[in-house]
Amino acid sequence: MNVQNLSTPLPDGQSNLQRIDVRGLSKSFQLAGTAIEAVRDVSFGVRRGEFVALLGPSGSGKSTVLNMIATLIKPTSGQILIDGVPVIAGKATPNVGYIFQRDTLFPWRTVADNIGYGLELAGVAEAARKERIAACVAQAGLQGFEHAYPSALSGGMRQRAALMRTLVVEPQILLMDEPFGALDTHTKIDMHDVLLRIWEREQQTVLFVTHDLGEALTLADRIILFSARPGRIKDMFEVDFARPRDAVKVRETPRYAELFQHIWHSLGEEFVKGRKP
Ligand SMILES: Nc1ncnc2c1ncn2[C@@H]1O[C@H](COP(=O)(O)OP(=O)(O)OP(=O)(O)O)[C@@H](O)[C@H]1O
């Protein structure tokens, strides 16, 4: 079967091409006097404009890796470079947007005011702000709900508004932690199409955490498969479906079924290992 395995390390010098460059990353947490080894010696790169999914069972350290890249957690050892510059824990990195599973909208702000929050912080003038918010509202298909509060929206609409709140300031790198994990299957696929259309146009560099293989296959150029805890890179897979992709149609192709079956076996082994105490 023609499934390209990419676990061979990049030759020296090629790391210069990486927008996100993770080197020998490890993390142990202290929990009630016991060390929990969450991540062990993880190294990978993400090229400019590439969409990479981190896939693995629950507890395999995916969010911990993302949080270290987002500078929310300090690594125990290893280094992370963004555009060649080492990140510093606790210090925000310019051009990086972060999207969580929870929609994190402010309940006291309308959709438009939620989306415009980052522009307010950046001191963007009101006229320019309104124009940019209107464009984001249209992109997310939220016309008519600009003045609604989050409580009046469905889960999918809330997540679209949250996506736009991050994208409004045009980050070039997106760190996404199971952003659609709480949505039902159909709303999730709908969100995949929204994200695919945005990414095709803006070509952000995306690192997307998920434990949903179908989601990883639909969206990503490359899948990095994590082992059960302690999280290590078990394998990497190129996802070679043509772009632009249709989130529904791509799932109906024989190639999707072929890749799904191939990766599912490897992922399944880690689910089983992860179940053991
Ligand atoms: N602050 C913390 N203190 C102690 N242990 C932690 C902490 N954060 C994460 N862990 C542990 O590290 C391991 C990896 O957790 P992490 O959330 O990164 O996994 P994950 O692959 O993202 O899982 P999921 O898909 O369920 O979100 C788990 O065993 C978790 O209990």
**Residue whose entry in the numeric block shows the structure tokens 């969100």:** 191
Report the C-alpha gap between 227 and 236 in whole angstroms.
Answer: 11
Give the Cα separation of 199 and 174 in Å (integer): 10
Place of tokens 């980050």: 171
Spacing, Cα 118 to ligand 1 middle (Å): 29
CA of 69 to the centre of ligand 1 (A): 15
User: Which amino acid residue places its CA nearest to atom 17 of ligand 1?
Assistant: 63
Q: Assess whether 194 and 261 both reside in one domain.
A: yes
The domain that contains 183 carries what CATH number? 3.40.50.300
> Total structural domains in the chain?
2
Q: Tens digit of pLDDT per residue, the chain (277 long)? A: 334 333 334 444 444 468 999 999 999 999 888 999 999 999 999 999 999 999 999 999 999 999 999 999 999 999 999 999 999 989 988 899 998 877 689 999 999 999 999 999 989 999 999 999 999 999 888 999 999 999 999 988 998 899 999 999 999 999 999 999 888 888 889 889 989 999 999 999 999 999 999 999 999 999 999 999 999 999 999 999 999 999 999 999 999 999 999 999 989 888 888 776 6
Kindly report the pTM of this predicted structure: 0.90
Domain boundary (121, 151, 169) is at 169
Cβ-contact 58, 227 below 8 angstroms:
no
State which of 30, 55, 60, 176 you would mutate to test the pocket of ligand 1, scoring each by most atoms of that ligand within 8 A of its C-beta: 60
Ligand 1 pocket, residue 32 CB under 6 Å: no
- Establish whether residue 31 lines the binding site of ligand 1, counting it when its CB lies within 6 angstroms of any ligand atom: yes
153 touches 111 (CB < 8 A) = yes
| Cα atoms found within 13 Å of the Cα of residue 159, Cβ hemisphere only | 24
**230 ligand 1 Cβ < 6 A:** no
**What was the ipTM of the complex prediction?**
0.97
Residue found by looking up tokens 């390209």 in the block: 4
> Looking at the structure, do residues 20 and 126 belong to the same domain, yes or no?
no
